[in-house]
Structure 1
Amino acid sequence: MSVFDLEGRKALVTGGAKGLGAGMAEALAKAGASVMIGDVLEDEGRATAEAVGSGGVKTGFVKLDVTDDANWAEAVAATAETLGGFDILVNNAGIEISSLVVDLDPGDIRRMCEVNILGTALGTKHGLRSMRPGGVAGTGGSVINISSVAATIPFPGISGYSATKSAVDRFTRVAAAESGKLGYGVRVNCIYPGLVATEMGLGLAADMEKLGLWPSAEAAVGDVIGLTPLGRLGEVNDMADAVVFLSSDAARFITGIGLPVDGGMGM
């Protein structure tokens, strides 16, 4: 059996209704895992779950506001009940609000902190509680948090986002250390995606023009590609395959890392 085979694994992907999250859910399902989509977007989330499940794996949808502690407890319980277990958590839900430092809005910063940092922290909390011995699932597993190449490079216009994604990286490493030391049997890692032409990625490029940092969105994208040794933007499958890898037995001795999936941009 391939070390990348996820047959029998049960996953919850947050922000799974569209974009990177939907691609990650699809990749996990193709590798054999059952997948629960967690999102605040109910119609899109249910449609994605149905599409992912068309390949024959068990899927489901749960409405999940990642900033709500009680909602997390409900979502994890629903995942374990629907899928018959729970051993992969992908904390993908996140938001990006562009701004020059001199124009930062406190409300925007608070919102990014709530979704990107608090949401990831609460997810990891409930994932570890569920997967550790004595938890509702109790068989160990893998938590994968989604940071960003923005945590590794000083890209203009996204200071708040960069700060929150840097926090995700540091939080991931502490959680991995605690999980290992306390014998939870749960690996905790994160990935740093590069720029991908999703709705969020293209919106960021458009913001760079609005902020006066680049003459056009196309110019901003062109400069990102120019900073990337592999000479292209990332694709959803690039990020999704990294999630499958970190979920699988191929990564069985890997915990507490930040894996760049950015074409070399952040090196």
Structure 2
Amino acid sequence: MNRVDDRIAIVTGAAGGIGTATCRLLAENGATVIATDLRDAPGDGLGAVIAASAGRVRYLRHDVTDDAQWGAVLEATLAAHGRLDVLVNNAGLFMHGRTEDADAASIDRLFDVNLKGVVLGTQHAFRAMKSRPRELPLASIVNLSSVAGLKGSQMASLYCLTKGGVRLFSKSCAIEAAHLGYRIRVNSIHPGIVDTDMAQGVADGMRANGVPPEQIHKMMAGAHPLARMATADDIGRGIVFLASDDAAFITGTELVVDGGMTAR
């Protein structure tokens, strides 16, 4: 038996590195996946996952900051599959730079995607998940935070604010769901630096602030005691664990997948 056999999952931000890996790993472990992203088409990476999934992964365009679009995604999911078992709130943005230099429009966009998108997704998931048959395993919501949600980081204060918010929101929702008898587990996952397009954005910001290009990869890898950046699969495997019955008694906590970064 696979770890998430017959689960129905929604993964946001699915066309990015972590999202694509998560969709693939969930499908390989028996789940049916609704992969959503803001892009009109899934792109090469996710497109290949969809093509190889034998129908287990389908794509929907979806803006996580739009409540009506969340409603449409849930309506389509419930119409096709009758229930929702797993939500992975993965969509997110990174912002690098001095706190004083961030403009209001960029702050609004960061907060909308990283915070509002997670709140809206969780609201819709609660409504759908709370009425699932009691004989089914507990539902699972996995919210993407970061090591930046656990400790401060210079030149990334606003990003840290959003990821710290995701951490405490997840804890509060876990307690609330348990108190209300919803049979929904809620946890956050906290990657270190992951070798994805978002990490490339961090590197671009470092270059813009005068860090020599030849030092950037060494600095990123060296931030982890294991001396490498995480792969998207490293994070995806953690998400599959939290979605599965292997984590049946885990709620309201953080899974830190950071190669030892926060142990220092």
For residue 160 of structure 1, report the CA deviation from its aligned partner.
1.0
| Structure 1 residues 74-120: Cα deviation after superposition (integer angstroms, max 9, x where no partner) | 11111222344310100000111211123122221111100000000
Q: Partners in 2 of 1:211 and 1:82 — Cα distance?
A: 49
Normalised by the length of structure 2, the TM-score is: 0.92
**Match of residue 222 from structure 1:** 218
Q: Partners in 2 of 1:210 and 1:94 — Cα distance?
A: 22
Q: In the alignment, is the contact (CA less than 8 A) between 2:20 and 2:45 conserved in 1?
A: no
**Match of residue 39 from structure 1:** 37
Q: Partners in 1 of 2:222 and 2:182 — Cα distance?
A: 43
Structure 1 225/59 Cα, relative in aligned 2: closer, same or farther at 3 Å? Answer: closer
Q: Which deviates the most, 194-203 or 149-158?
A: 149-158
Normalised by the length of structure 1, the TM-score is: 0.91
Q: Partners in 1 of 2:151 and 2:179 — Cα distance?
A: 31
> Residue 42 of structure 2 aligns to a residue in which SS?
helix
Q: In the alignment, is the contact (CA less than 8 A) between 2:143 and 2:187 conserved in 1?
A: yes
Q: Partners in 2 of 1:253 and 1:36 — Cα distance?
A: 25
Q: Does 1:245 align with 2:241?
A: yes
Paired letter, 1:23 = A
Q: Partners in 1 of 2:59 and 2:80 — Cα distance?
A: 9
**Match of residue 17 from structure 1:** 15
**Match of residue 110 from structure 2:** 112
**Match of residue 236 from structure 1:** 232
Q: Partners in 2 of 1:218 and 1:80 — Cα distance?
A: 49
For residue 59 of structure 1, report the CA deviation from its aligned partner.
2.2
**Match of residue 90 from structure 2:** 92
**Match of residue 67 from structure 2:** 69
Paired letter, 1:244 = V
**Match of residue 6 from structure 2:** 8
Q: In the alignment, is the contact (CA less than 8 A) between 2:16 and 2:197 conserved in 1?
A: no
> Residue 43 of structure 1 aligns to a residue in which SS?
coil
For residue 47 of structure 1, report the CA deviation from its aligned partner.
7.3
> Residue 36 of structure 1 aligns to a residue in which SS?
strand
For residue 164 of structure 1, report the CA deviation from its aligned partner.
0.5
State the number of aligned residues.
Answer: 261
Task: Within 5 Å, give how 1:1-267 maps onto structure 2.
Answer: 1=1, 5-44=3-42, 48=46, 51-52=49-50, 54-133=52-131, 140-212=138-210, 215-267=211-263
Q: Partners in 2 of 1:206 and 1:47 — Cα distance?
A: 22
Q: Partners in 2 of 1:32 and 1:134 — Cα distance?
A: 19
For residue 42 of structure 1, report the CA deviation from its aligned partner.
2.0
Q: Partners in 2 of 1:179 and 1:218 — Cα distance?
A: 48
Q: Which deviates the most, 17-26 or 243-252?
A: 17-26
Q: In the alignment, is the contact (CA less than 8 A) between 2:23 and 2:57 conserved in 1?
A: no
Identity of aligned residues (%): 38
Gaps of 5+ in 1: none
Q: Partners in 2 of 1:155 and 1:217 — Cα distance?
A: 20
Q: Partners in 2 of 1:39 and 1:46 — Cα distance?
A: 13
Q: In the alignment, is the contact (CA less than 8 A) between 2:62 and 2:70 conserved in 1?
A: yes
Gaps of 5+ in 2: none
Q: Partners in 2 of 1:52 and 1:44 — Cα distance?
A: 9
Paired letter, 2:76 = A
For residue 21 of structure 1, report the CA deviation from its aligned partner.
0.5
Q: In the alignment, is the contact (CA less than 8 A) between 1:39 and 1:45 conserved in 2?
A: no
Q: Partners in 2 of 1:190 and 1:179 — Cα distance?
A: 15
Q: In the alignment, is the contact (CA less than 8 A) between 1:10 and 1:84 conserved in 2?
A: no
Paired letter, 1:92 = N
For residue 226 of structure 1, report the CA deviation from its aligned partner.
2.2
Cα RMSD for the two superposed structures: 2.0
